[in-house]
Amino acid sequence: MTGTILIENARIIDPASGLDHRGAVLIEDGRIADISKGGPVGVPEGAEVIDAAGHILSPGLIDMRVFTGEPGKEYRETLATAGKAAAAGGVTSFVMMPDTTPTVDDSALVDFLIRRAKATSLVNVLPAAAITRGLNGSELTEVGLLKEAGAVCLSDGRHSIQSTAMLRTAFSYAANYDMTIVHHLADHGLIGDGVMNEGLFATILGLKGIPAEAETIPLARDLQLALLTGVRYHAAQISTAHSVELIAAAKKRSKRISAGISINNLALNENDIGRYRTFFKLSTPLRSEDERQAVIEGLRNGTIDTIHSDHDPQDTEVKRQPFAEASDGAIGLETLLAAALRLVHSGDVDLRTVLKAMTSRPAEILGLESGRLQNGAPADLILFDPEYPWQVTANQILSRSRNTSFEGARLAGKVMRTIVGGKTVYTHIEETTL
């Protein structure tokens, strides 16, 4: 059990209820006990009192797409190091993708990861179980047993199921168990040897391109199957204007369809690749500035539901390669909030919309009780200064890997304190974690 904490003098923002006012929050036994406007209504005896100094107090972020190295490749990332990075970035819960060794396709492994995370991670780790065994796209996993073990959704992680018949079967089984399917969109035939967005810039660099249709064609297929089967469907990450159009049209026919986007595709574009910078080699690839503006509009109007980090630790050996040979992926837990605040500071998207996409909306999609500020809800909270200036440097990164797509970036917005289950797991004191 945790003690009593009173956070006062805070700007309280709760996207779920629309709350936005100065006030105080009382935490007791790991849950929110009271939210008051203005000053606190008394201070319980023995309570720890935290002066928020006018900073924003919001629900902790819920990141729907995080890869770890554990089990199997702990040299890239462990649950412990991912937890430290998440806490520093204001992420109080993250969905762990099943791309591990062994693959998370067995109920015993789901149970092990939940227990392992409780023992080693500072934040909540929510395992996603594989749709197909070994992520091979051909044999379904035991959906009922995986759900019973504690899996929050089904996903093949970086992998995209190519067989339409297999997907229909998977969607039907998932619908029977009311499990959300989170599916990566990639047509292998169209991607081929492509390594970045298809277009003039790829031609200039002499690199093979990946057309937008490699995303939109499987998305169109998935949406038709989702409507057919009634499954809870979440497009893992979209990046193009036409994808936004397809999602918007499907949402008019079903409330069980949602879509996510990587912060990389919101904050960066293909030009950031510059002179073959491999930390910007991602899947899905960075698109053109026109496409980036289109997905920003999709976030603004509610077509895109969630923003995630797509945290994907890769070691030096596989990233310090010629661009075409380097592995995809970048870390992002520690920079998720600050990078998302770029959209707010630029005037592209308002603060409440950005926070909603990383708090209450992921919670709704996954059926979590967190992601909101209300009496009785879990005390998973963050206190952050949206104007705090800082620069991303390798020596400050808490993740075990260093492959950040925001290397050297100057950002505005820093987490001052992260609270998980009523316990402070991170405070900003000279970039030091507790």
Q: DSSP for 168-180?
A: HHHHHHHHHTTPE
193 assigned to active site: no
Average pLDDT over residues 350-372: 98
- pLDDT, residue 44, reads 87
**Residue written as tokens 């837990």?**
333
Quick check: 286 pLDDT over 70? yes
Q: State the Cα–Cα distance between residues 268 and 348, nearest whole angstrom.
A: 14
Query: Is residue 308, in this structure, part of any structural domain at all?
Result: yes
- pLDDT, residue 40, reads 76
Average pLDDT over residues 207-229: 98
Q: What are the phi and psi torsion angles at 206 (to 5°)? A: 75, 30
- pLDDT, residue 42, reads 79
Average pLDDT over residues 178-189: 98
> Element (H or E) spanning 182, and its range?
strand 180-183
- pLDDT, residue 434, reads 37
Joined tokens for residue 368: 């979590």
Packing angle between helix 107-120 and helix 79-89, nearest 10 degrees?
A: 60
Average pLDDT over residues 310-333: 96
Quick check: 142 pLDDT over 80? yes
Q: What is the dihedral of CA 336, 337, 342, 345, to 10 degrees?
A: 180
- pLDDT, residue 77, reads 97
Q: What are the phi and psi torsion angles at 294 (to 5°)? A: -70, -40
Q: Which ranges in 346-398 belong to alpha helices (H)? A: 351-356, 360-366
Residue 254 CB burial class (10 angstroms; 0-12, 13-18, ≥19): middle
Joined tokens for residue 290: 């026109």
Q: How many CB atoms lie within 10 A of CB 120?
A: 15
Gyration radius of the chain's alpha carbons: 21
Q: What are the phi and psi torsion angles at 332 (to 5°)? A: -165, 0
Marked catalytic residue, from 106, 222, 310, 312: 310
Query: Is residue 118, in this structure, part of any structural domain at all?
Result: yes
Mean pLDDT (the chain, rounded): 96
Q: State the Cα–Cα distance between residues 20 and 58, nearest whole angstrom.
A: 10
Peptide bond into 284 cis (omega under 30): yes
Average pLDDT over residues 296-312: 98
Average pLDDT over residues 301-319: 96
Buried b (16+ CB within 10 A) or exposed e, 330-349: bbbbbbbbbbbbbbbeeebb
Evaluate whether 260 touches 153 at the Cβ level (below 8 Å).
no
Evaluate whether 54 touches 84 at the Cβ level (below 8 Å).
no
Buried b (16+ CB within 10 A) or exposed e, 94-113: bbbbbbbeebbbbbebbeeb
* 394-433 residue pLDDT tens: 999 999 999 999 999 999 999 999 999 999 999 997 544 4
Joined tokens for residue 413: 């917005």
Query: Is residue 205, in this structure, part of any structural domain at all?
Result: yes
Joined tokens for residue 108: 């015993």
- pLDDT, residue 429, reads 75
Average pLDDT over residues 112-133: 98
Angle, vertex CA 104, rays to CA 102 and CA 105, nearest 5: 105
- Residue 375, SS3 per DSSP: coil
DSSP structure class, residue 421: T
Q: How far is CA 185 from CA 177, 213, 240, in A?
A: 23, 10, 12
User: With pLDDT > 90 as the criterion, what percentage of the chain qualifies?
Assistant: 96
pTM: 0.97
Query: Is residue 401, in this structure, part of any structural domain at all?
Result: no
Domain count, the chain: 1
Q: How far is CA 186 from CA 170, 226, 297, in A?
A: 17, 17, 23
Average pLDDT over residues 46-55: 94
Query: Is residue 315, in this structure, part of any structural domain at all?
Result: yes
Q: Which ranges in 90-238 belong to alpha helices (H)? A: 107-120, 143-149, 164-176, 188-191, 200-205, 213-229
Beta strand ranges found along 203-304 (DSSP E): 209-210, 232-235, 257-262
Query: Is residue 151, in this structure, part of any structural domain at all?
Result: yes
Query: Is residue 389, in this structure, part of any structural domain at all?
Result: no
* 70-96 residue pLDDT tens: 999 999 999 999 999 999 999 999 999
Which domain covers residue 329, as residue numbers? Answer: 59-366
Query: Is residue 379, in this structure, part of any structural domain at all?
Result: no
Quick check: 118 pLDDT over 50? yes
CATH code of the domain in which 255 resides:
3.20.20.140
Average pLDDT over residues 102-115: 98
Quick check: 1 pLDDT over 70? no
- pLDDT, residue 432, reads 42
**Residue written as tokens 């708090």?**
359
Q: What are the phi and psi torsion angles at 85 (to 5°)? A: -65, -45
User: With pLDDT > 70 as the criterion, what percentage of the chain qualifies?
Assistant: 98
